Amino acid sequence: MSAAPAIVARVNRLRASLEEHNYNYYVLDRPEIPDAEYDRMFRELQDIEREYPRLVTPASPTQRVGAAPASGFAQVTHRTPMLSLNNAFEDDEVFAFDRRVCEALGRAAVDYAAEPKFDGLAVSLTYERGVLVTGATRGDGASGEDVTANLRTVHAIPLRLRTQEAPEVIDVRGEVVMTKANFERLNARQREQGERLFANPRNAAAGSLRQLDPRITATRGLSFFAYGIGGTTGHPLATHAELMDWLAELGFSVTHERQVVQGVDGMLDYFRRMTEKRARLPFDIDGVVYKVNELAAHNTLGFVSRAPRFAIAHKFAAEEALTVVEDIAVQVGRTGALTPVACLKPVFVGGVTVTHATLHNEDEVVRKDIRIGDTVVVRRAGDVIPEVVRSLPELRPAHAHSFALPQHCPVCGSDVRKLEDEAIARCVAGLYCPAQRKQALRHFASRHALDIEGLGDKTVELLVERELVRTPADLYQLKAADLAQLEGLAEKSAGNLVAAIEKSKHTTFERFIYALGIRNVGEATARDLARYFGSMERLQAADVEALQEVPDVGPVVAQSIAGFFGEPHNRDVIAQLTAAGVRFAEAAAGRPRATSAVYGKTFVLTGALPHLTRDEAQQRLRDRGAKVTGSVSKKTDFVVAGADPGSKHDKARELGITILDEAGLLKLLEGGGT
């Protein structure tokens, strides 16, 4: 049944009025009408939408009450990665950060936007033409869980932006938090119902946002504070402070504690004031964040690893407590690292009960003189990972005794080795060790290794947990019937995966080396090893001295390689892979000849080439002795530009670097031998 124009107009007025009152109440904390009047309008809108279901939209205030329970969360790929921040725990680290920024920008002093670091759950909100369409958790930074239905229940998140000039698309980044008052009310309710209590507001917020039933999330009283954007199609702004003001205009809660400060003195003064004010704030914070205020400087400073160079988190001093080390166990991580872990007499630290704490490595245990039976100081480093800070020898009992790291892996019994200049000891049975099994399989199947399409993380976990696969060689024994039994794999998907595994049998020597997951051997080193030795037989037979003859292979990398091939379990798996039909072309040992026109030159590729893929172009260059990097600098010799080349093309022009199209690249490649 279609609604009359008068009904549609009434619905629009009710929605606009309710959203205005939501904004006044949840964002501005200035309610203008009694709760009873708000409830009356809300019920009227609900009644109309029940009578005219076609009028219901995702942006309606009634949709905040929560939808039906979900069976799980889908994955969302962030259009712009959600990066983490590097941490500073001491003033000296803040001084070092400021010095790096000033030197990089060529300035004597820099203005910073300082704001609290919320202790909650980071999320990204995507708005299209002003309407919320997707909300996702940070996840691994590249992708997160789709929690849109749950985020719609958070009243501080606008379902529609408060502007008539909304960008076509905008990703708003911020933190979902639970106020201290709502946390106390939630735990009181949990206690009354005999349910488990939450340890702290952060855990409560994270648990509430990840409920499969959004109706539960709607009852938890979550809040949201915006602190930035991941990307937008308009509204150029000059400073982070202007960005925060703009987000407030769009209808988001932004912290009133933010301030622009100058230099390191301003940052440290802000940190001291927030430390004093921390207990009086309505929400938990675990530090403060400093960001270079000038947005244009962000592009200049860039990023390092998974963190920006233009921002840093200054964390509060961690909470500490005394307890007793009852034992020291050894954990084997997914990369084979052996980590001693203190088994502690339970102690309450930083809002949680701690029973285990990392001891990092054997050298740290010796340096801190930590023994089984000792009384120790435990700290939640960065308010996250419990660690043993120091022992108290004056309280040491007579029965206390020292710890020694085992010489063989406690999981698989293989050799444990500690490379020169490394503090961490590792199990060398990378392809065989059960503790490393999932990681080894994921790496083996990854795009730049054997590129097994369809073998994702979930499938790897199921294959390992069902004991269908113990080493990469077992993949080649799988049948479609085996895979079809796994959750999430239908008959067609199982058949496709078997076909992808079969296809992966035909690869290259360098990909095969990289797929083995040898410590410290990335794609470039794998390529150099393949060129230098030419065959697996010669590579496996090489000792540390011979390995160091390979360009850019030093003693640490050489020890990693020799240790890997010296482990019988790894050689067995390689033999099994060969027996299963994995093949790659071997070649005479050697290296590219200096007669190549591109030998020793540095190239950067940008944009889409008309005929060559990015991988193909890189491979041809590297086969002829060229170096391919990801960023343009004064050391770059050539930039190869295709369609939509972006900022790398502009920077090359600014620096006067030769720019080639695909035809120019091919002509250059043909200009010399290999």
Q: Cα–chain-centroid distance for residue 416?
A: 29
User: What does pLDDT average to over the chain?
Assistant: 87
Going across the sheet that includes 311-315, the strands are 87-88, 311-315, 285-292, 111-118, 259-262
Q: What confidence tier does 556 reach under pLDDT thresholds 50, 70, 90? A: confident
Q: What is the pLDDT of residue 474?
A: 93
Cα angle 248, 254, 257; round to 5: 130
Domains with residue ranges and CATH for the chain: 5-56 (1.10.287.610), 87-315 (3.30.470.30), 320-395 (2.40.50.140), 434-585 (1.10.150.20), 602-669 (3.40.50.10190)
d(Cα 427, Cα 436) in Å, to the nearest integer? 9
Q: What confidence tier does 58 reach under pLDDT thresholds 50, 70, 90? A: confident
Closest by Cα among 213, 52, 25, 230 to 144: 230
C-alpha dihedral sign at 91, 95, 100, 102? positive
Q: Are strands 426-427 and 416-417 parallel, antiparallel or unpaired?
A: antiparallel
Residue 101 CB-half CA count within 13 A = 26
Structure tokens at 603: 């190239």
Q: Cα–chain-centroid distance for residue 253?
A: 25
Closest by Cα among 262, 223, 275, 237 to 116: 275
Q: What is the pLDDT of residue 65?
A: 55
The answer to whether residues 42 and 18 touch, using CB atoms and an 8 Å cutoff, is yes
Three-class DSSP category at 584: strand
- Choice among 117, 291, 315, 648 that is catalytic: 117
pLDDT at 590 over 50: yes
Residue 534, CA distances (Å) to 508, 510, 526, 559, 587 in order: 11, 9, 11, 20, 5
Q: How many CB atoms lie within 10 A of CB 344?
A: 22
Residue 49, CA distances (Å) to 13, 40, 41, 45, 337 in order: 13, 14, 12, 6, 58
Across the range 431-457, mean pLDDT stands at 89
Q: What is the pTM of this model?
A: 0.51
Q: Is 117 a catalytic residue?
A: yes
Looking at residue 617, its amino acid is A
Q: What is the pLDDT of residue 672?
A: 53
Q: What is the pLDDT of residue 64?
A: 66
Q: What confidence tier does 244 reach under pLDDT thresholds 50, 70, 90? A: very high
Q: What percent of the chain has pLDDT over 70?
A: 93
> Counting runs of H as helices and runs of E as strands, what totals does the chain give?
24, 26
The answer to whether residues 445 and 458 touch, using CB atoms and an 8 Å cutoff, is no
Q: Which helix (H) or strand (E) holds 128?
A: strand 121-128
The answer to whether residues 24 and 31 touch, using CB atoms and an 8 Å cutoff, is yes
Q: What is the pLDDT of residue 6?
A: 86
